[in-house]
Amino acid sequence: MALGEFDLIRSFFDRPGLRSSLSDVVGIGDDCALLSLQPGQQLAQSLDTLVEGIHFPKHCDPYLLGYRALAVNLSDLAAMGAKPHSFTLGLTMPESNDVWLQSFSDGLAELASIHQIGLIGGDTTRGPLTLSIQVQGTLPEANALRRNGAQVGDLIYVSGCLGDAAGALPDVLRGQNPGSVRTLEQRHLLERYYRPTPRIALGQWLLENGATAALDISDGLLGDLGHILKASQVGAEIKTTSVPVSKALGSLMGPEKSRELALTGGDDYELCFTWPDRKKLLLPDSLMTDNPVTCIGRITSASGLVDAETAQPLSPRAYQHF
Amino acid sequence: MALGEFDLIRSFFDRPGLRSSLSDVVGIGDDCALLSLQPGQQLAQSLDTLVEGIHFPKHCDPYLLGYRALAVNLSDLAAMGAKPHSFTLGLTMPESNDVWLQSFSDGLAELASIHQIGLIGGDTTRGPLTLSIQVQGTLPEANALRRNGAQVGDLIYVSGCLGDAAGALPDVLRGQNPGSVRTLEQRHLLERYYRPTPRIALGQWLLENGATAALDISDGLLGDLGHILKASQVGAEIKTTSVPVSKALGSLMGPEKSRELALTGGDDYELCFTWPDRKKLLLPDSLMTDNPVTCIGRITSASGLVDAETAQPLSPRAYQHF
C-alpha cells in the first residue's frame, strides 16, 4: 500500500543530489534498477536496517537521520575497501509528511553528493518508522579487505578516536542534537553520533596497499575486533591505554570512563585493521591529516583477546564490569 | 542492536537451501557481500518492504510469509526478463522466536531453492515485524523488458488469471490460510495470495523473443497498465470481458464482482506485456501449459485507457464505482 508513492518518489527521491550520474545505470521508475560493472570489477553490497526507538530516538531530526542512515551503510563499503556506487532505500513511515521527507532526503543527498552515488531504487510503505538501506560499491575482482586475513604478528590499528558516539548517547536519548546542546564538547560527540564519517578513502588505500584484514567498528572495538580474530583464527593483545580518545570525550567523561567507552562503545564507524609488521605503514598526508591511525596492539597465535599490559583476558562484557 | 544476531543468522539463514551455489559470490559473514557478473551481463535489482498489519495480516503463518515475501520480489525480476541471482534480507522482528524463524526461513528456502538463488546478506533487528527484501538478477547488457517500449498497434497480453489474490483478501484478513478453509475454491484463492508464482521463465522468454514492454501486476491491472501507457506515452483500449478469471473466483464471486477484481485487484503477480501485432506470439508448450497468456486489448495513439466495447474511459477508481 503506497502513500501517493509515485509523486512522493518524484518529489523527494528522484531528484538532483540523489540521481545517479553513471551512464550505465537505470534508476527509479521501472520494475527493477539496472547497473553494469566495468570489466575486472566486482560488486560489494551491504544492507542495514534502522528502527525508530531502537537505532535512533523518536522524533529524531530527519536530516540527521538521513545522513546517518546512509553513513553507517557506506562505512561497510569502507571496511571492504570498496568505491561507493549506488544505493537503494526501503522507507516505512507512519504518514507522508512533506516537511519530514524534504529534510530526510536532504540529509541523504548531502552525503550521497559527497560520494557521488545515486539512489537507484527502493520502496516506500506505511508503518512504524523503519529504514533499510542497501549500499553497493565496486572493488577490483577477487580483491577485498576481508575479516579473515589477519596473520600472527600483524599490528592492529584503528582510525580516528573511539567512544565519542557512545559518549553522546545520553544526550541522544534526551532528544538533543548538535545544534541544541550547550558545550562544544557535547556538540562534538553528537556530531560524531549523527554524522559519522565513513572512512572510504582510507579503506581504498588500505586495500591497495596491503592491509591484511579490516572491519568498521559499529558495535564496539573489543567485540568487533573479536570478529576479525574469529574469522582469521588468531588471537590478539591490545594496549588499552593506547586506544585513542578525543579531548571532548576525555574532558566530559574523565579518563576511566572514556577508555571504557572507547573499548566497548559502538556507533563510531572508524576502521579497525591489521597490517603486516615487516611493512612500514606510511599513510599519504591527505589521509593522515584528516584522520590519523593509531597502532593499538598485535595479532597473536594464542586464542582470545588479552590486555598487553596485564595479560588479562579482555571481552566487551568483562570490560564493562571494571 | 542485534538479537544474538550471529547465532541467529548461522542457524536460520546461512544454511543449505539459502546458501548461494555461485562460485563468484561471497555471502554472509563479512562487512559486505561480494558478487561478480559474467562479461556482457548487467544486474537488475528490486527492493520491496512488507509491514505487518499493512501488507500481511498479524499472526500470519511465517512459512507463507517467507514464501510470499520472496515471491513478490522475484516477480519484479520476471517483469524485466531477468534471471534470478541472489537476494538480501532486512528482517525486523519484535522478538527472536526460534519456531517462527525456522518456519519463515523454510518458506524463503523453498522458493530460493526453486530458483537456485542464495541469501547473500542482510540485517536482523528488533522492532515491529517488517521485511525488506532486495532481489537481484542478471540480464544481457543493454537489454531488458522495460515499461517504456510499448508501440501504437501492439497487442496487450496478461499471463494467467487475474483477481484471485484480491478475492482471497476477506479470508486473509480473517486469518485464514490455504490449509484452514473449507472449500477448494477458497483454498485456490488463498494459495494464489500466499504463494504467487513469479513468472520468471515467461519473462525471460518475452525478453528473448521481442515483447516491447512489460510489468508485473501488483496493484491491479488497470493501474499497472497505466504505468506502461505513461512511460511509453501511448493509450490503450481493452476488452474487459476478455480479462481471464479463474473458475474458483467466478464461482465464489459471480461474473460481475470477478471482473471487477480482475481489473482492479492487486497481488496476483501475473505479467502484463505488449507484443508487436505483426509478429505471431507462439509461446513454447512448456510455458503455455503451465500458464497461458491472453490477449486483452491493444495500444492506441489516443491517450488514456478505454473500454474497447463501450469506448468509455477506464480507470481503477472509476471501475470500482460500477
DSSP for residue B28: B
What's phi and psi for B295, nearest 5 deg? -80, 125
**Closest of A58, A5, A32 to residue B54, by C-alpha:** A5
Write b or e for each residue in B47-78: b if 16 or more Cβ atoms lie within 10 A of its Cβ, otherwise e: bbbbbbeebbbeebbbbbbbbbbbbbbbbbbb
Q: Any bridge partners for residue A273, and if so which?
A: A157, A214
> In angstroms, rounded to a whole number, what is the distance separating the alpha carbons of residues B170 and B174?
6
Is B170 in the same domain as B295? yes
Distance from the Cα of B24 to chain A's closest Cα (Å) equals: 9
Describe chain A by its helix, strand, coil percentages, rounded to 5.
35, 25, 40
Strand residues in A201-289 grouped as ranges (E) = 213-216, 235-238, 271-275
Write down how long chain A is.
322
Is residue A222 classed exposed, middle or buried when 0-12, 13-18 and 19+ CB atoms within 10 A define those classes?
buried
Is A283 in the same domain as A223? yes
Contact list, A144 vs chain B (CB under 8 Å): 26, 30, 32, 34
Whether residues A90 and B49 touch (CB distance < 8 A) is answered with yes
Q: Can you tell me whether residue B297 is helix, strand or coil?
A: strand
pLDDT digits (tens, 9 = 90+) for A159-173: 999 999 999 999 999
> In angstroms, rounded to a whole number, what is the distance separating the alpha carbons of residues A234 and A238?
13
Distance from the Cα of A48 to chain B's closest Cα (Å) equals: 5
> In angstroms, rounded to a whole number, what is the distance separating the alpha carbons of residues A159 and A249?
16
Contact list, B228 vs chain A (CB under 8 Å): none
Using the structure block, give the residue that is written with the C-alpha cell 531530526: A61
Does residue A22 have a pLDDT over 90?
no
Using the structure block, give the residue that is written with the C-alpha cell 493501474: B223
C-alpha cell read off for A129? 518508522
Whether residues B35 and A49 touch (CB distance < 8 A) is answered with no
CATH number for position B58: 3.30.1330.10
Is A101 in the same domain as A169? no
Domain boundary among B113, B140, B167: B140
| Owning domain of residue B244 | 155-320
Task: Say what the pLDDT of residue A205 is.
Answer: 97
**A271-275 and A293-300 beta bridge pairing:** unpaired
C-alpha cell read off for B246? 479463474
Whether residues B37 and A36 touch (CB distance < 8 A) is answered with yes
pLDDT digits (tens, 9 = 90+) for A211-232: 999 999 999 999 999 999 999 9
Distance from the Cα of A74 to chain B's closest Cα (Å) equals: 10
| C-beta separation of A115 from A20 below 8 A | no
Is B31 in the same domain as B131? yes
Task: Say what the pLDDT of residue A27 is.
Answer: 83
> In angstroms, rounded to a whole number, what is the distance separating the alpha carbons of residues B231 and B154?
15
In this prediction, residue A1 has a pLDDT band, given cuts at 50, 70 and 90, of: very low
Contact list, B51 vs chain A (CB under 8 Å): 92, 125-128, 130
DSSP code per residue over A101-132: HHHHHHHHHHHHHHTT-EEEEEEEEESS-EEE
**Which residue of A1, A39, A137 is in closest CB contact with B39?**
A39
**Which residue of B1, B77, B91 is in closest CB contact with A55?**
B1
**Which residue of B45, B53, B127 is in closest CB contact with A88?**
B45
Q: How many CB atoms lie within 10 A of CB A56?
A: 20
**Which residue of A54, A80, A89 is in closest CB contact with B125?**
A54
Q: Can you tell me whether residue B58 is helix, strand or coil?
A: coil
Is B37 in the same domain as B178? no
Distance from the Cα of A309 to chain B's closest Cα (Å) equals: 30
Contact list, B91 vs chain A (CB under 8 Å): 49
Structural domain count, chain B: 2
Distance from the Cα of A116 to chain B's closest Cα (Å) equals: 20
Is B68 in the same domain as B28? yes
Within a domain: residue B148?
A: no
Between chain A and chain B, how many beta carbons pairs sit less than 8 Å apart? 192
> In angstroms, rounded to a whole number, what is the distance separating the alpha carbons of residues A178 and A186?
8
Whether residues A120 and B43 touch (CB distance < 8 A) is answered with no
Per-residue pLDDT tens listing for chain B (322 residues): 344 677 787 788 888 888 888 888 888 888 899 999 999 999 999 999 999 999 999 989 999 999 999 999 999 999 999 999 999 999 999 998 999 999 999 999 999 999 999 999 999 999 999 999 999 999 999 899 999 999 999 999 999 999 999 999 999 999 999 999 999 999 999 999 999 999 999 999 999 999 999 999 999 999 999 999 999 999 999 999 999 999 999 999 999 999 999 999 999 999 999 999 999 999 999 898 878 999 999 999 998 999 999 999 998 665 543 3
Residue type, position A286, single letter: S
Q: Can you tell me whether residue B72 is helix, strand or coil?
A: helix
Is B133 in the same domain as B250? no
Within a domain: residue A150?
A: no
C-alpha cell read off for B263? 481489473
Is A195 in the same domain as A306? yes
Task: Say what the pLDDT of residue B14 is.
Answer: 85
Using the structure block, give the residue that is written with the C-alpha cell 510455458: B287
pTM for this model (two decimals): 0.91
